[in-house]
Structure 1
Amino acid sequence: MDANTARAVLHHVLAGRCRLVLPGAGPLELAAGDLALLPSGARHRLTAGPGAPPPPGPAAPGAGPPRSGGPPVEVRELGGEGDGARVLTVRAGYDRRTAPPLVAALPRALRLGRTRVDAAPLLRDTLALLAAPGRRSGPGDRLLALRVLEAGLVLATVPPPPDGPRRHPGIGRAVAAIENRYAEPWTVVTLAREAGMSRSAFTAAFRAAVGTTPARHLTARRIREAARLLAGTGIPQSAVPARVGYRSRVGFHLAFRTAYGTTPGEYRAGAPRRD
């Protein structure tokens, strides 16, 4: 695996209760609706039942970093009837260089409660789609898994303010706009308008919540999508800048090279050798 590629794992509890155990760290208790995120795919175990003790022996990868050919999306039953849990597991890789700065500072594992998950409609609805009864896996699962992990990482890097999650709801709207509507001609002014805040207040609140400026966060999102289009689709290279929101090809090439250390053409040429 490329040294710049990190493996993220997400567990969403569909029913029941379970515990996530990592070596050298306290366990995370998870109930129905909760989400556990491991930004770098740390080794861990999932055990069923409220307060269930970890099984004997050293922690194994379990649902950790995906093995070659492993499913990016799966639903599993843990434990037995009465004390078991039903869990959706999603796995995907991402490029460390274009991840939000706070991702590197996140703990090995963290819990996002049901309330926070329900407050993120895109993430909530995609999780429900992936866990739908009778759903069959398909070639689009890897892309869906990547989108779920991206949404989970964004949610994890924008913690609720101390005075409650509704203190700065506009920051959440701006982050969602960047995540899902990156190709639009955003500026700091129009993002601040989306958030319903003044430019100065928005810029300060955004940096405090996300750890970088709105412009840099937008650039990282656009370049990450460009890399996906170059490596995973047959879209002409000349069409990629406009698809991700760049009007200037020169500006796009400079931004891409700054992020990946290579030109878009070189990146596409090397795609078959990438994990």
Structure 2
Amino acid sequence: MDTDLARAVLHHVLAGRCRLALHGAGTLELGAGDLALLPTGIRHRLTAAPDAPPPPGTSAPGAPAPGGAPAEVWGLDGAQGGAGVRVLTVRAGYDRRAATPLVSVLPRALRLERARVEAAPLLRETLALLASPGRRPGPGDRLLALRVLETALALAAPPRRPDGPYPYPHPGIGRSVAVIETRYAEPWTVVTLAREAGMSRSAFTAAFREAVGSPPARHLTARRIREAARLLAETGLPQSAVPARVGYRSRVGFHLAFRATYGVTPGEYRAAAPRRI
């Protein structure tokens, strides 16, 4: 088992209201359209009975078993007061090494309100696709689940809230992390990332390194190479098209960066992919 692989769980409430109880660590109230994100897959339970004691576990009766399909729609058991409650559960694995800087500043579970979900077109449309009635699971579900996770993680690293501190020392750092997570294919440089953050290059570089633990260029490279590895392992995209898809204009530069990260060439990585999944 790859010890660098972590697993996140996301619950999107399609109808009704429910409560997510963390194992020994509080609860989240969820309404229709809300999304609960558990970046590290902490043990939890969903119930529609607001006063029911939350027994330990990873799911509610009727929920898909942990480790099942990447995305499943299910209903809370009517015997628990959950009649009419429908939930889309999404699970996705991610590279712990690349995502740790972002995940480390997030709580073990958090709620994205319906308005924020609906304001993010990529997230909203992918969730709707996964939850569409009569849809059958397919080989692309793992890619869709990972895309949902990445977008939700980026949304979960917002600038300053009225009632709380910045998750980063400057709100622009949160914005730059978000664009690296979701818009990595664009031709970013340290200068344009600093401009996105509303900071000078020197101040941005220093603040980013302090908050995230690595320079912005290295973080961007890690994100691009992680996406490239996913494309090589889980899609039939021609290998020659991968560099441009993840933001590289130079194939040589891409190959060097990929080999520096994984110790093998992109072709060797793709050939070994069945043993990596």
Query: Shorter-chain-normalised TM-score: which range?
Result: 0.7 to 0.9
The one-letter amino acid of 1:178's match is: I
Shift of 1:108: 3.0
Shift of 1:59: 1.9
Write out aligned runs for 1:103-252 (5 A).
Answer: 103-156=103-156, 158-163=157-162, 174=176, 177-194=179-196, 198-199=200-201, 213-252=215-254
**Contact residue 7 and residue 39 of structure 1 kept, 8 A:** yes
2-side partners of 1:211 and 1:122: how far apart?
Answer: 28
Shift of 1:145: 0.8
- Report the equivalent of 2:29: 29
With structure 2 as the length reference, what TM-score do the two structures score? 0.79
With structure 1 as the length reference, what TM-score do the two structures score? 0.80
Identity %: 78
C-alpha spacing 1:262/1:51, structure 2 compared with 1 (3 Å): farther
The secondary structure found in structure 1 opposite 2:78 is: coil
Using CA pairs below 8 Å that are at least 6 residues apart, which structure has the higher relative contact order?
Answer: 1
Residue segments in structure 2 that go unaligned for 5+ positions in a row: none
Figure out how many residues of one structure are paired with residues of the other and give that number.
Answer: 269
**Contact residue 41 and residue 64 of structure 1 kept, 8 A:** no
2-side partners of 1:254 and 1:31: how far apart?
Answer: 47
2-side partners of 1:232 and 1:89: how far apart?
Answer: 21
1-side partners of 2:77 and 2:92: how far apart?
Answer: 25
**Contact residue 16 and residue 49 of structure 1 kept, 8 A:** no
C-alpha spacing 1:119/1:95, structure 2 compared with 1 (3 Å): same
Shift of 1:231: 1.1
**Contact residue 98 and residue 223 of structure 1 kept, 8 A:** no
- Report the equivalent of 1:99: 99
1-side partners of 2:238 and 2:126: how far apart?
Answer: 29
**Contact residue 42 and residue 65 of structure 1 kept, 8 A:** no
